[in-house]
């Protein structure tokens, strides 16, 4: 087999949470370009529909648009039911949905702590669990969870202890699930990106200049630079990888 064939996803069915914009939308497009049909999950249906329509027009794959709040177990169950009802299977899941707020640790409102943990950590737990129930029956599947380099560092100059905690939880949760499911051919891996040019990063436009000197590569990443990593982890090119973390941070964690 040509090694490039291992990166192809023809006939595979994928979902991307937080798939209507930013890194999620870029990843969904990458999966579609590799041949997968893709379900776009977002909290607002019109945004999911717009992204799904755009990706289908560009790639010719089949797309679904689904509204779901990943922190709501009922919504997550309905999301999976819609996908299985349409395609009968689920091969790939990229659990990317997340939110961020900033505050000094002594000032973080409990409501902000709970919401960030609900979406970033509980949301990944609920979606990964629901996806795995399908994949374990099939005895195959690849789950990719979005963490962050913030799982390893304290961000500066912005302060976001609750965000860092949520992403560290994603990393360890994913490793534990990967260990449990490895012998049943369901893989769970993690991507931990650094700073990328996305709508979320735009919230911090006034301090971006302070990030760049801390990045050995000397720049903020383009959103598109993450897509290849997602396709790799989704594909048979990474068939012996589970419980692994790929850090894509321009070398930020080296210092």
Q: Is the pLDDT of residue 66 over 70?
A: yes
C-alpha–C-alpha distance, residues 33 and 10, integer Å: 9
C-alpha–C-alpha distance, residues 76 and 97, integer Å: 12
173: closest CA among 118, 226, 129, 237? 129
| Every domain of the chain and the residues it spans | 3-195+221-246
Long-range contacts: 239-243, Cβ < 8 Å, 24+?
239/6, 239/187, 241/187, 241/189, 242/178, 242/181, 242/182, 242/187, 242/188, 242/189, 243/174, 243/175, 243/178, 243/179, 243/182, 243/188, 243/189
> Mean of the per-residue pLDDT values for the chain?
96
Quick: pLDDT tens for 125-140: 999 999 999 999 999 9
User: Over pLDDT 90: what percentage of the chain?
Assistant: 94
Quick: pLDDT tens for 91-117: 999 999 999 999 999 999 999 999 999
User: Is 240 among the catalytic positions?
Assistant: no
Average pLDDT for 238-244:
98
User: Is 71 among the catalytic positions?
Assistant: no
User: One of 25, 163, 166, 252 is an active-site residue; which one?
Assistant: 163
pTM over 0.85: yes
User: Over pLDDT 70: what percentage of the chain?
Assistant: 98
Q: What is the pLDDT of residue 201?
A: 67
User: One of 20, 71, 148, 166 is an active-site residue; which one?
Assistant: 148
User: Is 167 among the catalytic positions?
Assistant: yes
User: One of 167, 175, 235, 252 is an active-site residue; which one?
Assistant: 167
Residue 75 — very low, low, confident or very high, per pLDDT cuts 50/70/90?
Answer: very high
Top pLDDT among 255 and 116 is at 116
- CATH code for residues 3-195+221-246: 3.40.50.720
């Amino acid at each position: 087999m040509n090694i490039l064939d291992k990166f192809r996803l023809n006939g595979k069915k994928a979902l991307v949470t937080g798939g209507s914009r930013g890194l999620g939308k870029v990843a969904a497009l990458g999966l579609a370009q590799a041949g997968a049909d893709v379900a776009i999950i977002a909290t607002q249906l019109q945004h999911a529909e717009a992204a799904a329509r755009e990706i289908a027009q560009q790639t010719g794959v089949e797309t679904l648009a689904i509204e779901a709040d990943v922190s709501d177990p009922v919504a997550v169950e309905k999301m999976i039911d819609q996908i299985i009802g349409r395609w009968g299977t689920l091969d790939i899941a990229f659990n990317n949905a997340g939110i961020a707020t900033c505050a000094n640790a002594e000032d973080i409102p409990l409501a902000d702590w709970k919401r960030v943990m609900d979406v970033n950590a509980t949301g990944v737990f609920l979606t990964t669990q629901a996806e795995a129930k399908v994949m374990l029956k099939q005895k195959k599947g690849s789950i990719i969870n979005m963490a962050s380099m913030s799982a390893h560092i304290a961000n500066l100059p912005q302060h976001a202890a609750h965000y860092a905690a949520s992403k560290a939880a994603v990393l360890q949760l994913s490793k534990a699930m990967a260990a449990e499911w490895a012998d049943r051919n369901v893989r769970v891996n993690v991507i931990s990106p650094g700073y990328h040019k996305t709508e979320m990063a735009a919230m911090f436009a006034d301090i971006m200049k302070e990030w760049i000197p801390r990045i050995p590569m000397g720049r903020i990443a383009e959103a598109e630079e993450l897509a290849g990593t997602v396709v790799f982890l989704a594909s048979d090119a990474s068939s012996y990888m589970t419980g692994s973390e790929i850090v894509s941070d321009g070398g930020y964690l080296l210092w």
